[in-house]
Amino acid sequence: MDSVRQWAFGICAAAIACALAQLILPKSSMQRVFNITCGVFFLGCLLSPIVLPSASVELTPPESIQRQIEEKAGRLESAVEEGAQERATESVRLEAMRALRDMGVSYNKIYINVHDDGQGGISISECEVELDRSYLPRHDEIRAALTERLGVRVLIGYDDKGVTS
């Protein structure tokens, strides 16, 4: 049915194009040649479904190109996922840094454990913080504050070395 509509539209467009061209063309000896040309053009448009076999255009890329497309799409998807993980990790790390700074605690290192949840998303499982041993008496306070602020499980480790940050 769609092909009949296209054919009818082609005939109408050809008739309109021929009529407009005849209006624009000045009256001269070329008028007769132009009328014949328009007639042949219109007749060609009218008979095109009968004379020309129905051509279908298939836009399926060759197998090698399809593989390349899939490989590039996979790499792009991986890059996007890695970027999302990095942004999420950095966001949680910055929030942990702010929370520790607000409590007056200096940290040595902050690790954020991020995992792929298998459904195209990420899951932040825990935050590991390394502090100087001098903060050991405040362990429960620091852990509770970080857990509340970050919303993830917090592990705190202690180091006997000096605080670097």
Secondary structure, 3-state, the chain? CHHHHHHHHHHHHHHHHHHHHHHHCCCCCHHHHHHHHHHHHHHHHHHHHHHCCCCCCCCCCCHHHHHHHHHHHHHHHHHHHHHHHHHHHHHHHHHHHHHHHHCCCCEEEEEEEEEECCCCCEEEEEEEEEEEHHHHHHHHHHHHHHHHHHCCEEEEEEECCCCCC
Residues 73/61, Cβ–Cβ less than 8 Å: no
pLDDT by position in tens, the chain (length 165): 677 888 888 888 888 888 888 788 777 777 788 888 888 888 888 887 777 766 555 666 678 888 888 999 989 988 888 888 888 888 888 999 999 999 999 888 999 888 777 776 777 888 999 998 888 999 999 999 999 988 888 999 998 765 444
Is the model's pTM score more than 0.75?
A: no
Rounded Cα–Cα distance for residues 11 and 8 (Å): 5
Provide the pairing of β-strand 153-159 with 107-116: unpaired
